[in-house]
Structure 1
Amino acid sequence: MAERAWSHAMEKKTAGTNAKQRIYMLGRFRKAVKWASLFSQLCSVKGDSRTSLEAEAYASYMKGALFFEQDKNIDAAMINFKNTRAIYEELGKYGSIENQLLCRQRIDEVEPMIDFCSHKLGGSYLQAHELLDTANDLLKAKMEAVLSETRSQQAASMTEFKWLGRTFPITNAKTRVSILKAQQLERDLSAAATESVAADKKLAIFDKIFSAYHDARSCIRNDLASAGNAEDIKDDLNGLDKAVSAVLGLRTIERNQLLVSIGKSKFTKHRDEKNERTTKPEELVRLYDLLIQVCLFSVTSSF
């Protein structure tokens, strides 16, 4: 029903509309939103977490299109379009190649709408951005539930961890999920390196990576404590713990390199803003000291 109403609305829009046809077109858009919203509500009750999230993205896109066509509440259109994009960006990180391509296609469809909303909002864009942050908070729990579910499914096939040519078995499901989460965040970080992503967002990704690897090490330590006298199991767990610790040290070095880069840019760049803080020489020295300490620790801890 939603698709039928949407199709009728798009036909009227494509054909060009007079006042009467525009009223009819908006009515079709409203009906599409109504049925899409009901579909989303039904999926939230009867469907799994991924299906529910996909239905929510579908309903958000419909709502955004209605607000956009009404040309009265572009802020709301922006929020709904960005919610749609955020959902498909997360869903596109997992699953088959076909699923990733489909999510990428959905993102490509909504991107021009977001750009146009940004252009129309002009000075009021900041307000829309603040509203979006609030809306995203409501989506985070749902998206994390889907990602956790997907990680758990992928973890079932993850049996080992490789580091420096050595392979370490992973038998604990919680350890697998934590390592998978860290590896996905590492891919996000690599993608951020090729895009114009703000440094503070990169630092936030590093923090999440550290948290995931620390969770993995905590699980490994618990397994070690309960391993008793099983020397083979303890050897595997100790090796896995050292490997995860080594990766953690490498990511710490990369994070400190980013901090040094940020500090150097603030130190060397002349700024006109009176209230903007610049890096003092001693702060830059401290950052280099921290970087050297982490490098030395990683070398002495390697095996």
Structure 2
Amino acid sequence: NVNCDARTKLEAQAYVAWMQGSLQFELQLWKDAMTNLKKAQVVYGELASALPELEQVIYKARVEELAPSLRYCAYNVGDTSAIDDLMQMRGQLSNELLASLDSLMAQTREKQTTAEEVTWRGKTCGVVPSRATGLLIADSRLNQTLEKSSTLQGKIDLLEAHLIDCKDVIATVRETFKTELKNKDDKTPAHHLIAYLQYIRLSRTLERNLALVKIAEESEKAKPQDIVRLYEAALHNLLEMSQLLDDAEYLKEQEAKSKAYRAFRCFHMAQSLANAHRWREAMALYQRTLRHTQDAIKEQSFLPDDLKQSLKKLESSIEGAQCAAHAHSVLEEGTEDGASSIKQIKSKKPLIDRLHEYREDNSLLGKQPNVSNIPPPMQPIPCKPLFFDLAFNMVEFPDLSNQLGDQGKKGQAGLTGFVKGLWGWGNK
């Protein structure tokens, strides 16, 4: 068509295919819907690859938006492997498609079991709504999905999407069982279901925080203080988990995990103090870390295998870190003593006062060598006696008036005339 360019024509074709596929999707014509949606996805992908980078964002977003609908169609056509992909993309699904997926999960569960009952810690959760059923199935398959992820950041993204879904499902279940939850008896199936869903959310949050810890430990820019904060968040999660259920064995499991992560937090606090050259405080925290580690190992029957291995590695690394902190502390004390003695010599003893001592003083080669005090310090000396000043008044000199004769009178008359002339006494 001469009225539009090739790009506009391709956009129109993709839009028409998407509209037809969306209509067929609502009519549950899965094969036709998958054909048209796939056509739209291919056209949008070709447009994205042919355009500049700044204009590719819109078309790549359209390609990602079509992926969940295509996998849903594939599952309904007969591709059972598509359900795993849909579980991975739960965070990307629209509300309508997410509701359809949860309904599909509920139907799948009905085929597997005759009742929609879930058991946790030996107690049934009663009838589970379809939205919660979809979340439980997604959570059961999440571990396999996480194993397929090649990077820690990819696992974190999957966990965060799952956590958002958990939050929405818990809110939905609370709204569904609003009347039952008003009952003060917290041992009802509805309360137990809410506790189970919260346990899933908190345990996945803990898993996300531990993945962030691994990223921080592998990063050179991360500081021990950042890792300490992540372990504090993990301990807070365990505290909330321990408040969900009043079961002795369950509480022992959470307490054992808390002791283990408390040891890791204390170790990184010691590392932070060691980086600040506060060796004595670091040594004290290393000792406390060792106690926490030993307490956690005593209850290793309640810990998972990977946490047991991490505790053993931590126990072996504490001894080396503690010896290093002790060595640095001793060296620093010796350096401080030497520096203080040298500083005292430089500031209080000039070279002229220590000529009998041999010391290598580099300050003597500088611009202001401490050779001697200028001006020299004042020293006390015997003072002149008081009578020596008064003795001059008591000395009797010989009378020389006879030898002066007329010279004395002339001098006196001259002086008297001068005074009289000055004041006008001699005028008549």
Identify the residue that residue 161 of structure 1 maps to in structure 2: 118
For residue 247 of structure 1, the aligned residue among 194, 200, 207 is 200
**Residue deviations 1:71-102, cap 9 Å, x none?**
96597999879966774566447836932458
In structure 2, what residue type is equivalent to 1:254?
A: E
Instruction: Choose from 222, 228, 243 the match for 1:285.
Output: 228
Distance verdict in 2 for CA 1:198–1:163, change over 3 Å:
same
TM-score by length of 2: 0.40
> What code does the residue aligned with 1:48 have?
E
Amino acid at match of 2:217: K
- Decide which of 85, 94, 98 is 2:78's aligned counterpart: 98
RMSD: 4.6
1:151 aligns with 102
Taking structure 1 as the reference length, what is the TM-score of the superposition? 0.54
Find the aligned partners of 2:10 and 2:232 in 1 and give their Cα distance: 60
Q: For residue 58 of structure 1, what is the amino acid of its counterpart?
A: K
User: Structure 1 residue 196: deviation in Å?
Assistant: 2.0
Uncovered stretches (5+) of structure 1, i.e. residues with no partner: 1-30, 105-139, 270-277
2:181 and 2:223 map into 1 onto residues whose CA distance is 52
Residues 282/48 of structure 1: CA separation in 2 closer, same or farther (3 Å cut): same
- The percentage of aligned residue pairs carrying the same residue is 17
CA distance in 1, matches of 2:185, 2:243: 25
TM-aligned CA distance change 1:90 to 1:192, over 3 Å: farther
1:12-23 equivalent positions in 2, closer than 5 A:
none
Structure 2 partner of 1:41: 19
Residue 212 (str. 1) matches residue 151 (str. 2):
no
Contact persistence 2:20–2:36 (CA under 8 A): no
Question: Using a 3 Å threshold, how does the CA distance of structure 1 residues 182 and 253 change in structure 2: closer, same or farther?
Answer: same
- Cα-to-partner distance string for 1:234-293 (whole Å, 9 max, x where unaligned): 711112122222222221221121121122112xx3xxxxxxxx2211121222222233
Equivalent residues in 2 for 1:53-92, closer than 5 Å = 55-61=36-42, 64=45, 87-88=66-67, 91-92=70-71
Residue type at the aligned position of 1:153 = L
Query: CA 1:168/1:295 → structure 2, altered by over 3 Å: closer, same or farther?
Result: same
How do 1:1-12 and structure 2 match up within 5 A?
Answer: none
Q: Give the drift of 1:186.
A: 6.3
Choose the corresponding residue for 2:214, options 255, 258, 261: 261
**Alpha-carbon deviation of 1:198?**
5.2
The SS at the match of 1:162 is strand
Distance of 1:214 and 1:256 partners within structure 2: 17
Asked if residue 177 in structure 1 is aligned to residue 131 in structure 2, the reply is yes
Gaps of 5+ in 2: 1-8, 85-91, 111-115, 248-428
What is residue 150 of structure 2 aligned with on the other side?
A: 196
2:241 aligns with 298
Relative CO higher for 1 or 2, CA cutoff 8 Å, sep ≥ 6? 1
Q: 8 Å contact 1:88–1:103 — kept in the other structure?
A: no
Please tell me whether Structure 1 or Structure 2 has the larger radius of gyration of its CA atoms. 2
The more displaced of 51-60 and 245-254 is 51-60
Displacement of 1:46 = 5.2
Q: Distance in 1 between matches of 2:147 and 2:99?
A: 25
CA deviation map 1:143-199 (0-9, x unaligned): 55334313223335562223234432225x4xx314514642663564243222451
- Inter-CA distance 48–295: structure 2 relative to 1 (3 Å threshold): same
Letter in 2 for 1:160: E
1:100-144 deviations in Å (ceiling 9; x for gaps)? 45899xxxxxxxxxxxxxxxxxxxxxxxxxxxxxxxxxxx66x55
Question: CA distance change for structure 1 residues 288 and 225 in 2, over 3 Å: closer, same or farther?
Answer: same
Secondary structure of the corresponding residue to residue 95 of structure 1? helix
Between Structure 1 and Structure 2, how many residues are aligned? 222
Report the structure, 1 or 2, having the larger helix content: 1
Greater mean deviation of Cα atoms: 143-152 or 75-84: 75-84
